[in-house]
Structure 1
Amino acid sequence: MPRSHRLILISMCVSLGAVVSAVSSLNVALPDLARATGASTTELQWIVDAYALVFAGLLLPAGALGDRLGRRRVLVTGLAVFGTGALVATRLSDPTPLIAVRAVMGLGAAMIMPTTLSIITATFPPETRDRAVGVWAGVAGGSALVGLLAAGLALERFAWPSVFGLNAALALLGGAMTVRFVPATATEQAPLDGVGAALSALGLGGIVYGFIEGPNRGWTSAIVVGAFAAGVVLLTAFVTWSLRRRQPMLDPRLFTRRGFASGSLSVFVQFFALFGVIFVLLQYLQFVLRYSPLEAGAALAPTALIMIALAPRVPKLVQRVGARSVGPLGLMLIAGGLLIAATMGTDASYWHLLAALIPLGVGMALAAPPATAAIVGALPEDKQGVASAVNDTAREVGGALGIAVLGSVLAGHVGHLGPHTDPLAVVAGFHAALHVGAATLIVGAMAVFFHASHTPYSRSVRRRFPV
């Protein structure tokens, strides 16, 4: 890989890492933040969720905007919004403006994440694109775990604003490298579909809001049911609107293509499991095994290292045996890791945990690159922002649902987590949540296997379909 391409790839991974780590790193800092600001439980939840809600809802419009205005321009703007929001957060001491700032950071993140992948797919030549997509996929998964470790290290010496300081530093570095090393890419000439953008943003926002509020308000509460209903209605309107347009923001007919649909499903299932498992595993490590935030982050680090190291090598394996075999195998390995973790009790050793983390990391590394490649390979170069946004939306919605579902299973056994929580109840809820996650992965692996495209991986990445 030429030096210029390596620098572009590093720039994109730094920017991506800032966005992905912004959720997990803040979760570690919540107890410190609550003590310092006096935030209630509801306010703490929305400090976390305001970011996820805006982020997930605006991914598709932001990806389309990058295709039209220029991906480098949108990426630099997103990094500026994200980094400025993080800097402002370091100076706040009241929960309400902090919630607003996190929403602004979500806007910046929506502009950043899809453009990092679309710049890679539009810039790299076919002979190195496969590996670059693999690197991106590894960083997309591993950064959440690296964020836990980095935040734990910062909190050992500094207060909670240091976590936002890390976000700002990564955004500044990513922006400087993007301006210096990333060339401008071709832009799409079609006008932006404003109605489609609004319908998709509001519809996805409604669905994600329902997932966020469901565990606390109850899945049958009026506001949760209303959010889901509004989301479904708006997304149905989006599909209807898009089918009638000659140049829609996202053509729904793409989901009839086996590779595109199975890739989207695979990404959804992967991050349903990963985000949900990280959430319940952190509770288990801290409330049962009594790990500190730093120890918990360090304990999970091997999974991130495996994902980041192995994912770039997966494309060669897929070229030999096919994405239809490697992707489902990865999902099954993740399920295996969860089932191993589900045998841990109140006195589990770290070696027992490591035995679960290794197949989890290997499985994510095997499943993510072919799924991402199938999605971005289905659209032409001038629509790579939208293709990348579909990949990222599947990831964010899957992650939100994973946290909601597995967190609800844990809460059903434990109730309120606190100093006097019964470790046996946490273990029971932890096991039940992992079994739900493993079952979802197994079903997802079967669906991906039977519906995946038979097109070889190298062709699926390079081929460009008219839309």
Structure 2
Amino acid sequence: MPPNANTGHPRRWAILGVLVISLLVVVLDNTILNVALRRLADPVHGLGASHGELEWFINSYTLVFAGLLFTFGVLGDRAGRRRMMLIGLVLFGLASLLSAYAQNPAQLIAARALMGAGGAAIMPATLSIISNVFDPRERGRAIGIWAGAVGLAMAIGPILGGLLLEHFWWGSVFLINVPVVALGVVLVALLVPESRDPNPGRIDVLGVALSVVGLVTLTYGIIDGGEHGFGRPLVWAAIVGGLAVLAWFIAHERRSSHPSLDVRLFREPRFAVPVALIGLVFFAAMGVMFFSSFYLQLVRGYSPLQTGLIFLPFAVAQLFFAPRSAAMVRRYGPRAVAVVGLVLSAVALGAFALIDAVTPIWVVLVFFFIQGAGMANIMPPATESIMSALPREKAGVGSAVSNTIRQVAAALGVAVLGSVLAAGYRNGIDPALTELPPQAREAAGESISGAYAAAGQLGPTAPQLITAANDAFISAMHWSAALAALVTAAGILVALRWMPTRSGTGAPAAVGEPELAGTA
């Protein structure tokens, strides 16, 4: 083969289109869910979910997703990535049906966990297949389009969710996944070639179990503490126990001959720094997205459809900037592009600490656009750096690590920032609850959704409770937004200190192929 020949698959761009459709269903579901949270909290038209249950609707998915990514990345490398993708799509479609017809919060949490298992089979396969069907010289552009598809799903999700909620019951936001899954199954079966690692390793069963137990226990402690207070021994037992199990997981991975997460990879800056940046950015961004929906629908009074349209600038910026980021990286280097993206994200997230109940909505739209532009210039160069640090046959490892960090960070962001929000809200609303009947006091003290529900039963005193709830929520939102901005600012320091100034060429990382063999 000539030295400059393109080593990509002849149908690589059509294959990328199929992968994008399959990816849409994973991202679409979570962005739709954001605008449905208020409806799910409604005891009449939803499931009457508490603040903690709303967090678990998100985190039961993300924790199972993150916990199984390593395993499914290994299984895909061993048994075939297309096969694993088809299994994931079918599982995701079945879980969507179960979610749509859940009768209580516990059933929806369980169905969302099953959906996370399906997503864990789909997501790493998409990046692994991209890495295998594209020449390294085209991979950056392909990953930029892949990241732009995430932006497209973010654009479609809230708007589609708003339309569905205005005309149908809340279960329709999950039922919409089924036709997308059916289309994805047909196209993957027809167009996507099978690929696998020629030298697969063994599955690290203990490592997978430790990661799932540690993450779930830690996140449970954070969410429960935010909902009911951090003064109870059970909360700290969960937090400390979760951290201890995760420390055991790291120690085990360092000793294992076939680790699910090869910690030696983190010696390579081209791999470790982008992974850290993805974690910091998604921790901050997803936590802010969680409370933005309540701010827009309750404090500002927008409908689910209007809320979806307000999120649109974030997605438009992703669609516009993500496919162009590869060219920016080639011209200026990954460090410069990532730092600019982090600065934009920090400014946009920090702006929520200045927004109140009467801020002009065009200001909110501008900040969403800035945040989308910032993340569009972080994700593609970071993902390309991670994937280029590994040889093609180990693409599942890089994909699993980057997606696991992203999902774990998103879950912890929702848990931590949601807990800060819940604790701040409770402290702010308490003085206004002393004269309320016991049942209304309990509902209003739990969350802003509960306060609005209680106000509907109070008659003339309702406006005072609504005002107090809005004030308490906005104050708590300011603290959560400030914390999100600080976390993102920490990413700027990480990038300036350790991010490579030039991108790689697709060669394997210096860790060495023999060491990597055990990870897949």
- TM value normalised by structure 1: 0.92
CA contact (8 A) 1:37 1:93 kept: no
> 1:411 — aligned with what?
422
Find out whether 1:298 has 2:330 as its counterpart. no
1:130 Cα deviation from its structure 2 partner: 0.5
Q: Which amino acid counterpart does residue 428 of structure 1 have in structure 2?
A: S
Q: In structure 1, how many angstroms separate the alpha carbons of the residues matched to 2:491 and 2:298?
A: 31
Q: In structure 1, how many angstroms separate the alpha carbons of the residues matched to 2:343 and 2:232?
A: 35
Find out whether 1:228 has 2:239 as its counterpart. yes
Q: Which amino acid counterpart does residue 68 of structure 1 have in structure 2?
A: R
Find out whether 1:7 has 2:14 as its counterpart. yes
> 1:21 — aligned with what?
28
What is the aligned-residue identity percentage? Answer: 38
Cα gap change, 1:164 to 1:144, in 2 (>3 Å):
same
Q: 1:334 pairs with 333, 337, 345, which one?
A: 345
> 1:241 — aligned with what?
252
Cα gap change, 1:377 to 1:221, in 2 (>3 Å):
farther
1:173-322 equivalences under 5 Å are 173-187=183-197, 188-219=199-230, 221-322=232-333
1:12-411 equivalences under 5 Å are 12-33=19-40, 34-36=43-45, 38-41=47-50, 44-140=54-150, 143-144=153-154, 146-187=156-197, 188-219=199-230, 221-411=232-422
1:32 Cα deviation from its structure 2 partner: 3.8
1:263 Cα deviation from its structure 2 partner: 0.6
Q: 1:439 pairs with 474, 486, 498, which one?
A: 486
Q: In structure 2, how many angstroms separate the alpha carbons of the residues matched to 1:6 and 1:176?
A: 17
CA contact (8 A) 1:32 1:159 kept: no
CA-to-aligned-CA distance 1:246-268 (integer Å, 9 cap, x gap): 34332111112112111111101
Q: In structure 2, how many angstroms separate the alpha carbons of the residues matched to 1:40 and 1:429?
A: 20
Q: In structure 2, how many angstroms separate the alpha carbons of the residues matched to 1:405 and 1:458?
A: 35
CA contact (8 A) 2:280 2:491 kept: yes
Larger Rg: 2
Which runs of no fewer than 5 residues in structure 2 stay unpaired?
1-7, 427-446, 453-464
1:308 Cα deviation from its structure 2 partner: 2.1
Q: Which amino acid counterpart does residue 137 of structure 1 have in structure 2?
A: A
3-state SS of 2:194 partner? coil
Cα gap change, 1:151 to 1:424, in 2 (>3 Å):
same
Q: In structure 2, how many angstroms separate the alpha carbons of the residues matched to 1:95 and 1:457?
A: 46
Q: 2:503 pairs with 441, 457, 464, which one?
A: 457
Cα gap change, 1:249 to 1:83, in 2 (>3 Å):
same
Q: Which amino acid counterpart does residue 364 of structure 2 have in structure 1?
A: L
Q: In structure 2, how many angstroms separate the alpha carbons of the residues matched to 1:424 and 1:22?
A: 31
CA contact (8 A) 2:284 2:488 kept: yes
Q: In structure 1, how many angstroms separate the alpha carbons of the residues matched to 2:271 and 2:348?
A: 27
Q: Which amino acid counterpart does residue 389 of structure 1 have in structure 2?
A: A
1:43 Cα deviation from its structure 2 partner: 5.0
CA contact (8 A) 2:421 2:480 kept: yes
Q: Which amino acid counterpart does residue 334 of structure 1 have in structure 2?
A: S
Q: Which amino acid counterpart does residue 486 of structure 2 have in structure 1?
A: A
1:97 Cα deviation from its structure 2 partner: 3.3
CA-to-aligned-CA distance 1:225-261 (integer Å, 9 cap, x gap): 3333333333333333332333433211111211211
Q: Which amino acid counterpart does residue 19 of structure 2 have in structure 1?
A: M
CA contact (8 A) 2:66 2:405 kept: no
1:92 Cα deviation from its structure 2 partner: 4.0
Cα gap change, 1:272 to 1:370, in 2 (>3 Å):
same
Q: In structure 1, how many angstroms separate the alpha carbons of the residues matched to 2:413 and 2:155?
A: 16
Q: Which amino acid counterpart does residue 218 of structure 1 have in structure 2?
A: G
- Larger displacement relative to structure 2 (192-201 or 216-225): 216-225
3-state SS of 1:35 partner? coil
Root-mean-square deviation (Å): 2.4
CA-to-aligned-CA distance 1:82-141 (integer Å, 9 cap, x gap): 101112333443444333222211111111111111111122112221111112223335
Q: Which amino acid counterpart does residue 208 of structure 2 have in structure 1?
A: A
CA contact (8 A) 2:144 2:380 kept: yes
Q: In structure 2, how many angstroms separate the alpha carbons of the residues matched to 1:46 and 1:341?
A: 24
Q: In structure 1, how many angstroms separate the alpha carbons of the residues matched to 2:223 and 2:92?
A: 22
Which runs of no fewer than 5 residues in structure 1 stay unpaired?
none
Cα gap change, 1:224 to 1:13, in 2 (>3 Å):
farther
Q: Which amino acid counterpart does residue 399 of structure 1 have in structure 2?
A: A
Cα gap change, 1:37 to 1:329, in 2 (>3 Å):
closer
Q: In structure 1, how many angstroms separate the alpha carbons of the residues matched to 2:103 and 2:257?
A: 50
CA-to-aligned-CA distance 1:167-223 (integer Å, 9 cap, x gap): 222222222221121111132432222232222333333333334334214345433
Cα gap change, 1:282 to 1:39, in 2 (>3 Å):
closer
- Larger displacement relative to structure 2 (322-331 or 341-350): 341-350
Q: In structure 1, how many angstroms separate the alpha carbons of the residues matched to 2:126 and 2:146?
A: 8
Find out whether 1:428 has 2:462 as its counterpart. no
3-state SS of 2:257 partner? coil
Q: In structure 2, how many angstroms separate the alpha carbons of the residues matched to 1:365 and 1:215?
A: 31
CA-to-aligned-CA distance 1:7-26 (integer Å, 9 cap, x gap): 22222222222112323322
Q: In structure 1, how many angstroms separate the alpha carbons of the residues matched to 2:226 and 2:352?
A: 23
Q: In structure 2, how many angstroms separate the alpha carbons of the residues matched to 1:231 and 1:167?
A: 33
Q: Aligned pair count?
A: 465
Q: In structure 2, how many angstroms separate the alpha carbons of the residues matched to 1:36 and 1:442?
A: 40
Q: Which amino acid counterpart does residue 347 of structure 2 have in structure 1?
A: G
Q: Which amino acid counterpart does residue 397 of structure 1 have in structure 2?
A: V
CA contact (8 A) 1:49 1:212 kept: no
3-state SS of 1:457 partner? coil
